[in-house]
Structure 1
Amino acid sequence: MNNALIKSARIAFADTPFHGKEMDVLVEKGVIVKIATEITVDNEKVSIFDAKGQYLAPGFFDMNVNFGEPGLETKEDIDSGCAAAVAGGFTGVAVHPNTHPPVHSRSEVALIVNRAKRLPIDVYPVGTISKKREGKELAELYDMKLAGAVAFSDGNRPVQQAGLMSRALLYCKGFAGTVLSYPEDVSVAAGAKMNEGVMSTYLGMKGNPNLAEVLMIARDLYLAEYNAAPIHFTTISTAESVALIRKAKAKGISVTCDVAAHHLVMTDDLVAGFDSNYKMSPPLRTITDVKALRKGLKDGTIDAIVSQHTPHEVEVKQVEYQIAAEGIIGLQTVLPLVLQAGLTVEQLVDKLAIGPRRVLGLPFPEFREKAEANFILFDTEKQWRFDRHSNRSKSSNSPLLGRELKGGVTMLINKRQLIKTQL
């Protein structure tokens, strides 16, 4: 189904003359052929969609997702991960190297690129910073870049050696590579099960203090400044982190950052019930941190919102909280969480579609006649239930499973493929 007439959609493409207007859009074979206030067609091969009350926006891009392939396909493979991305409104994802083997050479990068070619989602591998994610020796960064890697990170293993991170920043600077820092000082956070605070004291669990994140951000900011190289911090979670990055930007340091959608809504109080689906890394913080993160989004300190989609099998997640794996699936629930956090449509489009592509140096979707369509339709008032029927992931580790959510995607068009979502 590649031919469609979308009627009366509210356009949410900034920097176009159509922004904020209600327009009809005709798409044929995946290409925008006409944009007007009123379009009529007689062709029976064109499907007509009433989009009254819905927003037509550039496809979202998630720069922090985890698929299991290669090696951990029982968690998620590229097909099922992309199905979840479609349902969540993402036309592009950057896949982190938390796989087995990790994505640390051109072979793994090429595998992911080739596996995703036929799918409606643009899949960009993130290569490792260090070989085997061991934090000892630089991986084949430039080689992976040539094979299709869009950025470099050791995934959920923070780079503990300052010298290694410094060399990575300097080396990537030479070929415009993007370094993603997952900020956590393991020596401070080691063994933690949740955020350090009143709730961790009450529950008697070792806490991960804000300090563990802030120390690493401070270190990497110094390294970025020293090497005159850009750096991106992924999934920041504390008020202190926002303040540090805000000051660094004002100082002229080339720094960007993102936040996971769940950190904009959920707090460490939720851990009181020992539901392992609230165990994640970085951990859920306090309401003070949540408010600071929301403010950071609105004032431009935080550049993007991510899902941090981290699927797990039931054997490692539906167990006692203390021994459960960290992370939740999130591709399908980003939009409802962002709306719950109070972002406007303009703000969420900027942080979910434009900001991530700007950080990674990727082209923005265009909304003009003769351009290849890369957009979604979403309804901020749509009520839907996230359950085993609507969940597209192989895994089910989400505290939102079984709940009614507000805000959903109804259509996605990308790579000349049109998909009407079935949420």
Structure 2
Amino acid sequence: MTMPPHSDAKLERRLGGPELSALRRRLRRHFERHGDNSEKRVLQLTGLSPVEHEALALIVGLPSRFTPSVRIDIAQFDAALRNAEISDSLREALERIDGPLINRTAAKEELRARWDSVFSTHAPHLVLSAWLQTTSATSLIKRMARQNPDTATRLLKQVTAVFLHLPAAGLTRAQLAADVLGNAHALDNGQPTATLVLAVLRYGANDAAQEHDLSEDVTEAENINRPAERARDIWAQAGVLVNELARPALFLNLPVDHGSVPLAAPGEPGYLSLRQLLRTSITWSVAGQIVRVCENPNIVSIAADRLGRACAPLVCTDGMPAAAQRVLLTQLAEAGATLLYHGDFDWAGIHIANNVMRLCAATPWRFRSDDYSQAVDSFPHKERDLSETTVNASWDATLGTTMQSHGLAIPEEAVASLLIGDLRSLEPQSS
């Protein structure tokens, strides 16, 4: 039925205007929730104002006596609008006044189906496929895609393409992004695709479980492993270089197989960048040997000055190990070295040690409760400087309690003479 030209004016008088906007919103919500469902054709309206009741009464012929609650049959409402040559239906009338109606229930079902399609897509990479089945993956992908299934599909295609090129052999992250995604910055920190790739890499390395284990390490040094460094480390485990020249690993007298290029002059400290560690084929000659690991570069300097070529193999984490340090320690452990670790006797030092012990199955080097007590006895008197928060050492259940009882932080340099004694090798290092 085609409405006459004057129907718009009649519709506006009967159902339009700001005074009836709340009533129209309630009527619209009915259609948005139920659409044209034949089983939902009766609408109970309560809390009506006198103006709203009067408008309904004029259209559908309700008794003129005001009542705040009425029961509306939508079919009768439609018929009344047609008979008055105002509109073909209530739905059409509402759309003519305030714009198109959306069936929100149907829209939700359609959106759910689109998301189901996103997550049911088969991923050719096993770890990626397993990660997609986790609840954390669902929430992260939706957030990165800004709740848009089409964007999510595009991001997952990019993530899949990246994983088909991993592990890499010392390829820079920018080059990987340019080769695979056509944009050298597509895998920069904070980019959606990079965030998803890192999440999958963490999942594959059980990084989430490791972080859970560290949840008890609540200290002022809790954030010592900065996010940018952590991301660089995760990329490095996949053979991808990020800021590959930043924070190189410091070492002294690390032996390599005969025929390999010496990494540094015997007796002199050397550095290995992440770039070198991932791009250079280094054959470590450390099977069955002890390699000691310290936290502070000063220990390496003292060892080089006092022992030179006679110093046993030594590696420095320089605080919380970054990507280069972690790669080096992992390579040494995989080459058969037994790693012994020492650090500062403070909460940050224990937090760092927990990470190192877990990373490469290291064991303590003069870094137990008895060693701390011995250091306190020989340390000059000072005021208590440890905070009240205790960090539990994964290798010694009593160390944290002992440190808390004394309340004194003992820097690694304070016990340097003991460490240097352990580092005195019977034979000078040849490389």
TM-score norm. by structure 2 comes to: 0.22
Report the structure, 1 or 2, having the larger helix content: 2
Q: Which has the larger radius of gyration?
A: 2
**Higher RCO structure, 1 or 2 (CA under 8 Å, sep 6+):** 1
Report the structure, 1 or 2, having the larger strand content: 1
